[in-house]
Amino acid sequence: MATAQDDSLMMYVGTYTRRENFVVGKSKGLQICKFDNTTGEITFVETITGITNPSFLAIHPNRQVLYSVSEMNERIEGRPAGGIAAFEIDPQSGYLTYLNTQPSMGTGPCHLIVDATGHYVLAANYASGSVVVLPIQADGSLAPASDFHQHEGTSINPQRQQEPHAHSINLDASNSFALVPIWGRTK
């Protein structure tokens, strides 16, 4: 997103803030940087904190909202703790304002995509092997899940593949079919 003042682009960088109960590096959240189109220089602007492991990001087709996974593998009060967060993008500065977070209905959300119509966020939960659909409200915030699918099965490596793992979720060119690579055979 170019700013009105110069010929630079805003960059949004997903990071890991912690992994399996230990801190990874020095990241504290979602990084915002400026990329200078002329020099190729990247300048740090700010960090958006409050979202655990905002590792994967997607921008709404209208370029006014950014969505981030909150890649958490643990369970809180018996429920999966993973989530999807929404941030409004200021059209002049590119800065982010937090809108809301909805549960991803699974653990370890690792990938998300906004459908071509801008009406839904689809997310893959790696650790629990599931996928979820979250409707997008008029202000860009997320409504609770409207659909959820839990995959089942195992694969040939019993140490690492005792359950399915959804690696990503993508849409075909017609925006009609969701494609989900799963690590694990289905039953």
For residues 77 and 25, the model is more confident at 77
Look at residue 27 and tell me if it is in a domain: no
**95-154, pLDDT tens digit by residue?**
999 999 999 999 999 999 999 999 999 999 998 999 999 999 999 999 999 999 998 877
Kindly report, residue by residue over 2-36, the tens digit of the pLDDT.
Answer: 444 567 899 999 999 886 655 556 788 999 999 99
Question: Residue 75 falls within a domain, yes or no?
Answer: yes
Asked, for residue 13, whether it belongs to a domain, the answer is: no
- The dihedral of CA 119, 121, 122, 128: what is its sign? negative
pLDDT at 3: 46
The pLDDT assigned to 4 comes to: 44
Please indicate, yes or no, if residue 129 is contained in any of the structural domains. Answer: yes
- How many Cβ atoms are within 10 Å of 61's Cβ, its own excluded? 13
- Residue 157: its pLDDT value, please? 65
Residue 143 is part of which domain span?
A: 50-183
- Residue 14 counted as domain residue: no
Query: Is 173 within a domain?
Result: yes
Count: domains in the chain? 1
Domain of 102: which CATH number? 2.130.10.10
pLDDT for residue 153: 77
| Chain length of the chain | 187
Distance CA 14, CA 5 (A): 25
